[in-house]
Amino acid sequence: MKYMITFNHIEGAWEQITDEQREEHAGWLKGFMKELKEEKGAELIFLAPPPDTRTVRRHVDGRIEVTEELVNATGEFVGGYYVIEAESMDEAVIWAEKGRFLVGSNDVRPILEMSS
């Protein structure tokens, strides 16, 4: 089964770490991306930060609204994602744990295959 793993960050967390921690993260990220590519044939997809986000919402009355805000207001935002093939949710969670560096969370979601 395929799983999408998001990497979610707390807004402002990157700015709160030291230059040394940023360099450490860059080295770790390079290694993780290599491991992800070699072992799972997957790549990280990075998304623009919240200020560049637009949310399109359809209301019950059919009205479409476009706002300059994130869908959720928890202070976390999706920084990107990757898709892997895994034998189980447990295996996908292991990859999410490997990919967690900054304060924040990862969502691990099975990808549903829809028949046409």
pLDDT given at position 85: 93
- Please tell me the pTM assigned to this model: 0.75
What is the pLDDT at residue 62?
86
Structural domains of the chain in order of their starting residue, each with its CATH number: 2-110 (3.30.70.1060)
Confidence of residue 114 (pLDDT cuts 50, 70, 90): low
The answer to whether residues 21 and 27 touch, using CB atoms and an 8 Å cutoff, is: no
| Single-letter code of the amino acid located at 59 | H
How many other CB atoms are there within 10 angstroms of residue 16's CB atom? 10
Say how far apart CA 69 and CA 47 lie, in whole Å: 15
Residues 43-94 pLDDT 10s: 888 887 777 777 777 888 888 888 776 666 566 788 889 999 999 999 999 9
pLDDT of residue 56: 72
Percentage of the residues of the chain whose pLDDT score is greater than 70: 91
- Which ranges of the chain does DSSP label H, i.e. alpha helix? 13-16, 19-40, 89-98
pLDDT on residue 38: 96
As given in the structure block, the two tokens for residue 66 are: 């476009």
Report pLDDT for 84.
94
Mean pLDDT value across the chain = 85
